[in-house]
Amino acid sequence: MQDLINRAAGLLERRFLKNAFLPVLLLPLAVYAPWGLRESRLEMLIGTWSRQDLIAQVLQVALAFALVWFTAAIVASQWRNIIRLYEGYPLMRIAGVGQACASWYWRRAQKFENVGDRWRLYYDFPATSHDCLPTRLGNIIRAAERYSYYRYGADTIVVWPRLYHLLERDVVDDVEDARASLEFLLVVSLWFVMAGWGGAIFLAFAGDSMALAIVWSLGGTFGAYLAYLSAIRAAVEYGEQLRSTMELYRLQLLEHLRIPVPTTVKGERAAWERFADFVGAGDDEGMPSYSKHDEPSVIVRIAPLL
């Protein structure tokens, strides 16, 4: 158990440093760069720093490190919201805009269905127009999240937190690594937006070159777009990890919950529907009865560590 905890802590530390701490540390430098690298301003800043006494330098470094670490912790707590941002959920709150974009993606899905490109439909689009989101990345993730529901009746949002407890460490690592890669690329995309436009705004308020401000903002936008394209491929891989994990392990959860494992897909859909009614509304009709002497046939191998 201690070894598992150490491995999880190491993974969390690497994930935090790469996906939060380093982007926050480098962002002020990127915002300052277009202004500070002109007309020997950087040399002036270094000269001012070197003339300070050692105690003042140490205090400033410690304060800067604490501020960066605290901000990075805030960023780490918002990884899920960053993903939701790129999935397009904020657009859905804007009357007409989000729904129009989602409808455009659904019409695009119908074109692929008409030409029989089932694999493009499998990876890029959910099964119904109701599930469509206003971004490509959002539809890829939504298609993966809703896959097990439309195939087996098992809602990933409800099942996954419970299934997680039964998964082997290697399986958890594969899913978490895929999600961490997706998070990293989206953080990089957001970083380019903030660095590009932050640097441009800094130049504009400093009364510096407007041409450089425009170039810097366009460069940041282009970098953000490239990172977003890379995140789309990472989202496909993450989605496949979700699909395969649900397909291979979902019946173990039914067995552990003492729900008779069905022998047909139709029976499984009915079982998951009863389970969802029990979780969501407390309706225990069709749920199993058991005594205190019953033992689950599936052993909980690990507890969630992340």
- Output 296 or 190, whichever has higher pLDDT: 190
Mean pLDDT of the chain: 85
- For residue 298, the model assigns a pLDDT of 45
Is residue 216 scored above 70 in pLDDT? yes
Cα torsion at 49, 53, 58, 59 (round to 10°)? -90
> What span, in angstroms and rounded, lies between the C-alpha atoms of 284 and 306?
31
Q: Is 258 or 85 the better-scoring residue by pLDDT?
A: 85
Residue 292 is classified by DSSP as T
24 and 70 in contact (C-beta within 8 Å)? no
pLDDT confidence bin for 305, thresholds 50/70/90 = very low
pLDDT tens digits, one per residue of 6-48: 444 444 588 899 999 999 999 988 888 887 766 666 677 777 7
Using CA atoms, how far residue 222 sits from 86, 197, 226, in Å, is 16, 11, 6
pLDDT for the residue 287: 74
Per-residue pLDDT, 304: 41
Angle value at C-alpha 261, between 258 and 266, nearest 5 degrees: 130
How high is the pLDDT of residue 291? 55
